[in-house]
Chains A and B, each alone.
Chain A
Amino acid sequence: MLTIHQVSKYYGNFCALRDIELEFENGVYGLLAPNGAGKTTLLRMLVTLLHPSSGEIRYDGVDIYEMDEQYRELLGYLPQDFGYYRNNTPRQYLMYLSALKGMERKAAKEKIDQLMELVGLQEASDKKMKKFSGGMIQRVGIAQAMLNDPKILILDEPTAGLDPKERVRFRNVLTDLARDRIVLLSTHIVSDVESIANEIIMIKDRQVLYKDRIENICRTIDGIVYETEIDFERAHDFRQRHFSLSEKQEGGKLKIRFLSTEGTLEGWRAVKPGLEDVFLHIYQDEKVGR
């Protein structure tokens, strides 16, 4: 079990995270927050790139910084800003990473072949990566994270650059993997985690706001999410009074999904909240990317 206890991180006087308390067991965890909320800082502490200003992170009761190589041996990490060697082929690049991960050469070669197939890059595995699209590079990144069959898989914005088909494939892979390991997935895109995460972690004001199952989190805004159809002329006024969650044109009218605590009015339909509704509700004061 991976536990984060009372962890805070300061950069000078700036507080990036405060008193974080989390526990992870096998399963998929979605770390959901807008950009700049501290997701990456948290993940970088979990992979020992950053040191907490206070608090401790333990794996099976042992401090991860004391475990050092023993801990990192269990890790697979895809950083948000995923750098790569432009003049390497994926195979060369992964062979280098396999050496850093302490894998035997023969085992690494076999694993790389499997992973290239898994991420759909078998045809391109011997081509230089400088010719790759963003999506292909991201797939190489995903492959390298899985290279050492990690017990803890930490993925920071893993679906950036992937097309819808690749996203689906990626989610399926993660679901398979999560049976016997911890998968922590950071994103600000709700749909990335909605269908696969066992639990969602939301960070607000530098602290953990929720760590719960999706249905429990959604229940927190039960009864305040509505849909209605209005004339386009009324849209401006409507938005002034209610927080719009989504809008679409339908039958000459504007179908709008919104938050309201005023109770059900005529023409309004109370709907079951989704994770995106919660996300928008929580971060409605912040600039969020959908």
Chain B
Amino acid sequence: MKRIVAHELRKVMMSPLVLALLVLFLLYNAAMLLTGYGSMREDMAESNRLVSQYGHQIDEEMLTRLRNDYQDGLQWMNRLTKRTEGRTFENISSLYESGTHHVEGLYDESERERFSNLLAMETYLRFISNIDSTYEQLDAMNRAENEIRKYRLSGELAETVRGNYRELAVRIDQLITNGEHKHLFFIGHIFKTHSLLFKTVFRTVLFEVTILTVLLTGHLLSYEFERRTQSLMYSTKRGRSLMFDKTVAALLASLVVTTVLLFGTLAIYFTLFDYTGFWSVPISNALQAEYSWPFISFWEMTFGQYLLASVALVYALALCFFGIASVLSFLFRNSYAVFCGFSVLFGICLLLTGIMPHDSNWLLVAGFTPSLLMMNSDLWWMEGGAFKSYRYIEVITITAWAVLLLASYALVQRRFRKQDI
């Protein structure tokens, strides 16, 4: 079987379409990250500098040091501006608003660099000062009612959502007690790094992984039928079990493609954006909030753990899509039909929630699809509105689809064994 799988893998490697798309996708991802984020990278370096200087945990000691250093810096700045511009500023932001900080000849490079450091300190102090009041006002049940109103939910569904948010309220209390929110991170309102990484990058990679996985699985499992070699291949000793070998090869190839795309892109991302000091920062920290409602993970986890869990989910989704493509390949025996069939199924899964009644829990159940999971990659493992308020949605979606696909595969494989070729 090993030899056969190796031969089958060679067919994938020899496929110009698969190889060309893999290279194209990697180049696209690199271009996407290399262009347009230059100044952001420099500003993020300031965040890293702060973390290396003060640590990421926001406590009284850290705040005192930060405030003192900021005040010292402010005094230094005003002595300098008094001398150069004949005036002082209330804060560093005012200097930046005046625009004189970058006037040629007024300040040298090292002074500008210190301005930049000061600005980062000031910005962080401003955001940090709002954390306590923001979290005191976090009202999970109020959010639940807002979500219920927004989507006009009623009946058992509204009750389920309320139940989910009751659990979230407990989690918020736990989060505040743990102090998970009080950690330095890239400021979400400015950098939107969570969206950049987990929405833009992860979703792009997922789309690419999906396209490649479906294409290569359809290609491999339909290979003999498309080349009219099926009579020969399925009458050899291996017989119809060849389809199983092809499935194993497609699985391995899908994992390789996922690894190359995901880790290739993440390598580019983390080379460009330095997260050195942030790996152990809790993902539910207050600073990375991009909107008024912060990111609240259902479990206490660091950024590093969250990234790993998300990487695992990418693999799980890739396997789901591979599974769907495998089952479709048994039914259609044509790679184009497999791709079209997959696209239709993907679309149906996305649209399913649109036809469900707004007073039934079936609306929530209809959202337990790999398609929707893929589209919400920035909200994995965390609360994200009425339809993303159940903590086990990822685990249940993947488990349910894994069972469904394994059962479907067993059925189509069994049917294939008895089918005329």
What residues of chain A have their CB less than 8 Å away from a CB belonging to chain B? 44, 47-51, 68-69, 72-73, 75, 77-79, 81-87, 95-97, 99-102, 105, 144, 148
Contacts and interface: CB of A to CB of B under 8 A. Distances in A.
A49 B238 contact: no
A97 B232 contact: yes
A32 to B, nearest CB: 21
Given A50-B421, A101-B237, A83 B7 contact: no
Nearest to A47: B235
Given A51-B418, A83-B231, A100-B233, A69 B7 contact: no
A51 B232 contact: no
B126 interface: no
A216 B50 CA distance: 102
Contact of A102 (B230, B235, B238, B418): B238
Contact of B227 (A85, A95, A144): A85
Is the contact region of chain A dominated by helix, strand, or loop, or is it mixed?
loop
A69 B238 contact: yes
A99 B4 contact: yes
Contact of B242 (A79, A95, A100): A100
Given A44-B421, A83-B227, 10 more contacts: A48-B235, A49-B420, A69-B239, A75-B236, A83-B230, A83-B232, A85-B227, A97-B233, A100-B233, A100-B237
Nearest to B235: A47
Contacts of A82: 231-232
A48 B232 CA distance: 11
A84 B229 contact: yes
A49 B236 contact: no
Contacts of A51: 418, 420
Nearest to A88: B14
Contacts of A144: 232
Contacts of A100: 4, 233, 236-238, 242
A148 B421 CA distance: 22
B87 interface: no
B3 interface: yes
Contacts of A148: 237
Nearest to B6: A99
B228 interface: yes
A60 to B, nearest CB: 17
A48 B237 contact: no
19 contacts: A47-B231, A48-B235, A48-B239, A49-B231, A49-B235, A49-B421, A68-B239, A69-B238, A75-B236, A75-B237, A77-B232, A79-B231, A82-B232, A84-B227, A87-B14, A97-B233, A99-B7, A100-B233, A100-B236
Contacts of A84: 227, 229
Contact of A83 (B3, B229, B238, B242): B229
A73 B242 CA distance: 14
Nearest to A108: B3
Most interface-central of A75, A82, A99, A101 (chain B CB within 10 A):
A99
B239 A72 contact: yes
Nearest to B227: A83
B11 to A, nearest CB: 8
Nearest to A102: B237
B239 A79 contact: no
Contacts of B239: 48, 68-69, 72
Contacts of A50: 420-421
Contact of A105 (B3, B14, B228, B421): B3
B238 to A, nearest CB: 5
B298 to A, nearest CB: 48
Given A99-B3, A100-B242, A72 B235 contact: yes
B237 A73 contact: yes
B421 A72 contact: no
A257 B377 CA distance: 82
B234 interface: yes
A50 B420 CA distance: 5
Interface string B263-294: 00000000000000000000000000000000
A78 B235 CA distance: 10
A156 B187 CA distance: 72
Contacts of A79: 231-232, 235
B115 to A, nearest CB: 63
Contacts of B420: 44, 49-51
Contacts of A73: 237
B4, B14, B234, B237: most-surrounded residue (chain A CB, <10 A): B237
Contacts of B242: 100
Interface string B192-224: 000000000000000000000000000000001
